Amino acid sequence: MPLTTTTEMFKKAYDGGYAVGAFNVNNMEIVQGITEAAREQHAPLILQVSKGARAYANHTYLVKLVEAAVIECPDIPIALHLDHGPDFETCKSCIDGGFTSVMIDASSKPFAENIAITRKVVEYAHDHGVVVEAELGSLAGVEDEVNVSAEDSSYTRPEEVEEFVSKTGCDSLAIAIGTSHGAYKFTAAQCTRNEQGVLVPPPLRFDILEEVSRRLPGFPIVLHGSSSVPQEFVKMINENGGKMPDAVGIPEEQLRKAATLSVCKINIDSDLRLAMTGSIRQYFAEHPDHFDPRQYLTPARANIKAIVTHKLINVLGCAGKA
């Protein structure tokens, strides 16, 4: 099947109590690792591209890599989504350039301005058969060119969501309930430590999610910043010359719970970066004489596939749902 929008995916996910994984792609090995996992697990899939990815790999290369994945995976629906579109022009360029879904992130703007910008993108996107994700509230953390300090982050205010969705016409809404971008989602001061000395972050605000869902019944909610920062990969990095002390993510049980509620799309990027970097560091440590990129990118791609497989089955619950 050709690239699809997320409309049907989200409807089935909402009704089925699971979420679709949205994974960021930047190069061929990442696209292959993710899509091989989704194909084997027969899972619907969102491949997403950030502004930073377009700057790194070039829009055309990324679109053609995703089109290759669509050809290789004829049995699963795949959407191509712009992650954190900063303005109308970037969204328009992706809509004109073959994307089936875009995010306009005007969440740092005042409420009325966020509505106006989002509305403009929605009008253009819907005219071209493309769906739009918007954001209310703002997540802390760093992701490519989005950088929000903990002090400037704010939870979504449920009392604003009905007006926002009805005035913008957006198709899904990213909300802030305590997830965060990057591999250092929380400072040690915000966390407790478990028996192994690993940081445990504060729990997600399910009360906000439930109030949003009560006000927007049937409406798909999106969670950004939802990597869990697997300690096996942090350890692999640190044992092979890396230095990532106290990297911490969102516990998978909490994401699993969110997926059973109104959350239909969960964004995962940092975990794939950690898997790739850990694999390559370990390979270099074990084979200091090797220099063929195919040699070290092979285990990197395999570990991306392994972590995505784990997410599809155990966190998102979307395996077998394509």
Residues marked active site are found at: 83
Query: Residue 195 is which amino acid?
Result: E
- In this complex, which beta carbon is closest to Zn ion, that of residue 54 or of residue 224? 224
Within 8 A by CB and 6+ apart from 119, the residues are 167, 168, 169
- In this complex, which beta carbon is closest to Zn ion, that of residue 51 or of residue 321? 51
Q: What is the dihedral of CA 4, 104, 268, 30, to 10 degrees?
A: 60
- In this complex, which beta carbon is closest to Zn ion, that of residue 16 or of residue 52? 52
Interface residues with Zn ion (CB under 5 A) are 224
Evaluate whether 226 touches 176 at the Cβ level (below 8 Å).
no
- In this complex, which beta carbon is closest to Zn ion, that of residue 51 or of residue 224? 224
- Distance between CA atoms of 42 and 73, rounded to whole angstroms? 9
Within 13 Å and on the Cβ side, how many CA atoms surround 238? Answer: 11
- Distance between CA atoms of 166 and 117, rounded to whole angstroms? 14
Q: How far is the CB of 97 from Zn ion (least distance, A)?
A: 21
Q: How far is the CB of 143 from Zn ion (least distance, A)?
A: 5
Q: How far is the CB of 135 from Zn ion (least distance, A)?
A: 8
Assign 196 to helix, strand or coil.
coil
Q: How far is the CB of 22 from Zn ion (least distance, A)?
A: 9
